[in-house]
Amino acid sequence: MKKLHVPSWVTLLLRNSKSRLGLGILLGILLLAAIGPYFAAKDPNAFSLLDARQAPSWHHLFGTTDQGSDIFAQVSVGARRSLLLGIAAATLATGVATIVGVLAAYAGGIVDDALNSLINIFLVLPPIPLLVVVSGFLKSRGLWTMVLALGLVLWAFEARILRSQALSLRNRDFVNAAKASGEPTRRIIFGELMPNMTSRIAAAWVLVFYISLLTDAGLEFLGLGQLDKPSWGVTLYWAQTNSAVLQGEWWSFVFPGAAIALTVIGLVLLLSGIDEVSNPRLRAEKTRHSFFARMRYALMGGRVAPHAEAS
Amino acid sequence: MSAAATPERSELEVRGLRKEFAVGGGLFTRERVHAVDDVSFTLKPGRVTALVGESGSGKSTVARLLLRLYEPSGGSVLYDGRDITSNRGRGATLDYRSKVQMIFQDPFDSLNPVKTIHHHLARPLAVHKIVPGKKIDERVNELLDTVGLVPPEKFAAKYPHELSGGQRQRVSIARALAVEPTVVVADEPTSMLDVSIRIGILNLILELKEQHGLAFLYVTHDLASARYVADDVLVMYAGQIVEQGPIDDVLESPRHPYTQLLLSAVPDPSLEAEARVELSTGQQTAAIDPTAGCRFRARCPLAIQICGEVTPQLVDQGGGRAARCHVTAPA
Amino acid sequence: MTVSLIDTPGSTGSARSSETLIEVRGLRVEYGIERPVRAVDGVDLDIRAGEIVGLAGESGCGKTTVANAILQVLRPPGHIVGGSIRFRGQEIAGLDEESLRKFRWRNVSMVFQSAMNALNPVLRVGAQFVDMMQAHERISKKDALKRAGDLLEIVGIDRRRVDSYPHQLSGGMRQRVIIAMALALEPELVIMDEPTTALDVVIQREILQQIQDLQRERGFAVLFITHDLSLLMEVADRIAIMYAGEAVELSAASELRTNPQHPYTVGLIESFPPLTGPRMRLTGIPGTPPDLGEPQVGCRFKARCPYHDPNDAKLYDRQNTERPVLREIAPAHFVACHRVEAGT
């Protein structure tokens, strides 16, 4: 049988136990989004007072809302929208942040001053009023309006961080060496500089993804959201509005909350794998040292060795 | 690189090179530091010229100017008789970059931590089309062989953090050699290496000079290592060349008081304690907005009145020697 | 455990006695527990009052680790796994935090390699002195600042610099500041870890002169750690050479200059190109130090030693299997080398 050619980064991602776990979790979430709705076979927006406020049961796996909608349906159908929102907003914000940050750092001079000012202006603008203004500006409502709004608010923060990382990399001798070798600027930026920023860019992406998912609920309050389209944020919104906590209806916020949390945990675990792929120094051989031995060592302030000999 | 090829008669000549930087932040700063001021020298094939000075002397700036990592504020750099500072086109710059290369000081900083050694050597080969694509691997191995990193296949696959400082510096040298330059600028290539490793790198430089007829500019603060590798020496202070000549002559009978100071400061256990020149402590005259007069006067035991009024010129004293001092090398 | 010796403010040792201040025996230090690297493997060292002991070696030989162990400032994952360190007969290694705090800086202080690492960039110089002094004794801020000014003058800096921030001082001045700080409580021993390596050669010369003058005046002992052996031979009374975590040679500086015995010492001395005399090709020392993460057998220098020759079967065998031990081959001259021992 012909051997499958697997790129080395895939192997590395799978070899790292943390990223393996992360990939597993994400796969689970994606599965939920893909086939969950068929499994639920219920309309997430169904209005049925008879079924309202039911705790999880075989009939309603995740219970029902105050309106009688099946939460499992909401979470699984909502997964698609939430994930799409998160991915799109994260990609937009991180993309812009990377372009602006790296450009500012590499070009220097007036370009840097101008872009830096732009970043600072956006940082200073209070996010909520900005969102309100944007929502008033954009007549339509919908997923893409939200993506745009989120991207607009969240890019500047990361741009500043990426710019400073790019600045410190630009002054390193290996960049000068590439220049002295005659490498064209474009290749220096993409081939030499940015591979050193992969970890940070990935982390930025995950952060924006996370914020987007959380803000989803907040956007409803600002009138930017669409309450009729199910998403994790919408389910959380309704749980909040209906005082689910006070009522003891834990199922209406725990499940969507867990969905968000699990997704982000999966991504964060994946990040450690990405770190290893992008930074060869982290690809160390690991030895099997017991968890307790390591804990004890850490707690002792590193003074007592596990195997110290008597003086 | 064929050792049998006759070295081209190309020289790198620097005339009146100047570089000024603005000092301090703010849009309206007026202060300028004259990092490099009226520097002239020639690098000839098969000879190592040492550029000696302390930090702040401008020696590293000269090195980077030669590599066109900075643009000069004045003066010219002539390669093969042509002024390259007027080069604007990418083609011409690329051509220059295939002739003049650099070895950087920090062995770790000068290699990209996320790229293999193979990448570092293959890129210059590809950019300058030194060999066709399918021959790149072979040439990479040859280069690693030349600098003593054997077996080359093993080293090519490694990442910088897997190599020792000395090995990384050899990779830097191999990278510089990849484009088949005629001039190599070595910016303190051994100062961050362990003592016992330094000689190996210096011997490699000597070998490259002798067998491949390369011209070297060896930038350093260490006179002893300069003497080991170099034929000629240029002594820099506060942006200016204060003395130059064949290195053994200069070290034996230094004319400029700063050269004498440097010589006496080097630890040499064979030297008797009394033979050391008495050091006068005092502020180093900054090269910031320099006024007329000698920049070394504040520390100079020989300073006379004219030293505070007229900037001394570099005076030719025959036998390739020159010094910039009213007292020991009057015009 | 009360330690009476440490409560007394450090004496300046005006009488140049030959009493032993520091006695290190069989020191073993490891880094990490996953795959421990034994950075120091059985080092013996004595430092007597008023003397300058040089500790020479290249990166990874363990010299900085020894210094940090003496002052008990080893950073995790570094920890002492064996041996003893005594100050005036008192064991340091097991001391409680309070006694250690008193011990540090009063009895033994340290000058670090990079002043910018030791100085807080956002505090004025004077404030840092005050902080340090008030940590060790009851002293008013005014008095502490005055003392700080005195100390700056002692190291040749204008006392008004007490108000400067570290970045406003030149590299050489910063180094003098931390030397002044190390001397503030008049310790008996000052450990200097590459105090001049980051400085230009002329400034280095000035600082060294300063250190020598101060040492002569105040009589403190110095443990001078550096890779620059030629510097040590000028400055030190006794020199210990370290290689791969062991001490391989120990003798008076003058003796080491004229009669180095260990092949590593010889190789190291010959790695310094001479400024005068005939020009000749040097060889340095081929190869690299061993990986201390791997268990070491026999002589650690054998891979790079010119006398490691299978033709000399008996010696070869011994080098491969038996670890050399420091032996006195001449008065006060110790060498850890099988070949030297055999008297070849």
Q: What is the band of C201 on the pLDDT scale with cuts at 50, 70, 90?
A: confident
Write out chain A residues lying below 8 Å of B69, CB-based.
176, 179-180
- Report A:227-286 residues touching C (Cβ under 8 A): 286
Do B178 and B211 contact (CB within 8 A), yes or no?
A: no
- Report A:118-137 residues touching C (Cβ under 8 A): none
Give mean pLDDT, residues A215-232.
74
Instruction: Show which subunits contact B, needing at least 3 CB pairs below 8 angstroms.
Output: A, C
Query: Among A72-81, A151-160, A287-296, C35-44, where is mean pLDDT lowest?
Result: A287-296
Nearest-CB residue to B69 (from A176, A182, A196): A176
Query: Among A207-211, B269-273, C291-295, where is mean pLDDT lowest?
Result: B269-273
Q: Which of A9, A117, A174 to mutate to test the interface with B (most CBs of B within 10 A)?
A: A174
Give the nearest chain C residue to A296 (CA atoms). C33
Do C301 and C248 contact (CB within 8 A), yes or no?
A: yes
Tell whether the model's pLDDT for residue B183 goes beyond 90. Answer: yes
Contact check, Cβ <8 Å, B54/C202: yes
**ipTM confidence:** 0.84
> Higher confidence at residue A41 or residue C191?
C191
Tell whether the model's pLDDT for residue C242 goes beyond 90. Answer: yes
CA distance linking residue C232 with residue C251, whole number of Å: 12
Give residue C14's pLDDT.
Answer: 39
> Can you read off the two tokens belonging to residue A8?
């080395």
Q: Which residues contact C62 (CB under 8 A, 6 or more apart)?
A: C29, C39, C40, C41, C43, C242, C244, C245, C246
Q: Based on the number of CB atoms within 10 Å of its own CB, is C116 exposed (0-12), middle (13-18) or buried (19 or more)?
A: middle
Nearest-CB residue to C200 (from B55, B164, B225): B55
Do C327 and C341 contact (CB within 8 A), yes or no?
A: yes
CA distance linking residue C329 with residue C159, whole number of Å: 50
Q: For residue B186, how many other CB atoms are within 10 A of its CB?
A: 28
Tell whether the model's pLDDT for residue B196 goes beyond 50. Answer: yes
Nearest-CB residue to A181 (from B106, B113, B124): B124
> Can you read off the two tokens belonging to residue A33?
């989004």
Give residue B29's pLDDT.
Answer: 57
Q: What is the band of A286 on the pLDDT scale with cuts at 50, 70, 90?
A: low
Give residue C7's pLDDT.
Answer: 31
How far is CA A194 from each of CA A33, A174, A190, B185, rounded to the nearest angstrom?
33, 13, 5, 28
Q: How many CB pairs under 8 A join A and B?
A: 69
Tell whether the model's pLDDT for residue B283 goes beyond 70. Answer: no
pLDDT digits (tens, 9 = 90+) for A171-195: 899 999 999 998 998 999 999 999 9
Give residue B274's pLDDT.
Answer: 41
Calculate the average pLDDT of chain B: 85
CA distance linking residue C111 with residue C190, whole number of Å: 7
CA distance linking residue B144 with residue B173, whole number of Å: 9
Calculate the average pLDDT of chain C: 85
User: H or E stretch including A67?
Assistant: none
> Can you read off the two tokens belonging to residue C76?
């995790």
Tell whether the model's pLDDT for residue A244 goes beyond 80. Answer: no
Instruction: Please give the share of chain C, as a percent, with pLDDT higher than 90.
Output: 27
Contact check, Cβ <8 Å, A293/C35: no
Q: For residue A131, how many other CB atoms are within 10 A of its CB?
A: 21
Strands, DSSP E only, in chain B?
12-22, 32-43, 48-52, 74-79, 82-83, 100-103, 183-187, 215-220, 232-237, 240-246, 315-318, 321-323
pLDDT digits (tens, 9 = 90+) for A20-62: 899 999 999 998 888 887 776 677 777 777 777 778 877 777 8
Partner A contacted by B157 (CB < 8 A): no
Q: How far is A179 from chain C (nearest CA, A)?
A: 28
Contact check, Cβ <8 Å, B265/C230: no
Q: How far is A175 from chain B (nearest CA, A)?
A: 8
Of the candidates C119, C199, C203, C132, the residue with the CA atom closest to the CA atom of residue C165: C119
- Report B:212-241 residues touching C (Cβ under 8 A): 221-225, 227-228
Give the nearest chain A residue to C84 (CA atoms). A311
Q: For residue A303, how many other CB atoms are within 10 A of its CB?
A: 14
Contact check, Cβ <8 Å, B228/C279: yes
Tell whether the model's pLDDT for residue B276 goes beyond 50. Answer: no
Partner A contacted by B216 (CB < 8 A): no
User: H or E stretch including C329?
Assistant: strand C327-330
**Which 3-state string (H, E, C) describes A233-286?**
HHHHHHHHHCCHHHHCCCHHHHHHHHHHHHHHHHHHHHHHHHHHHHCHHHCCCC
SS3 A294: helix
Helical packing angle, C141-154 and C125-136, nearest 10°: 110
Q: For residue C140, how many other CB atoms are within 10 A of its CB?
A: 11
Partner A contacted by B112 (CB < 8 A): yes
Give residue B112's pLDDT.
Answer: 94
* Residue C36 identity: P
Give residue A27's pLDDT.
Answer: 93
How far is CA A163 from each of CA A96, A169, C319, rounded to the nearest angstrom?
12, 10, 55
The alpha carbon of residue C70 and the mean position of all alpha carbons in its chain are separated, in whole angstroms, by: 10
Write out chain B residues lying below 8 Å of A177, CB-based.
102, 104, 110-111, 172, 175
Tell whether the model's pLDDT for residue B286 goes beyond 70. Answer: no
- Report B:28-67 residues touching A (Cβ under 8 A): 64, 67
Give mean pLDDT, residues C199-227.
88
pLDDT digits (tens, 9 = 90+) for C164-188: 888 888 878 888 899 999 988 889 9
Q: What is the band of A152 on the pLDDT scale with cuts at 50, 70, 90?
A: confident
Write out chain C residues lying below 8 Å of A291, CB-based.
none
CA distance linking residue A286 with residue A277, whole number of Å: 16
Give mean pLDDT, residues A118-143.
82
- Alpha-helix residue ranges (DSSP H) falling in chain C: 4-7, 63-70, 97-106, 115-118, 125-136, 141-154, 171-183, 201-218, 229-235, 253-258, 263-269, 313-321, 338-342
Q: Based on the number of CB atoms within 10 Å of its own CB, is B102 exposed (0-12), middle (13-18) or buried (19 or more)?
A: buried
Q: Which residues pair with C31 in a beta bridge?
A: C37, C78
Contact check, Cβ <8 Å, C78/A302: yes
Of the candidates B259, B220, B222, the residue with the CA atom closest to the CA atom of residue B243: B259
Give mean pLDDT, residues B285-296.
72
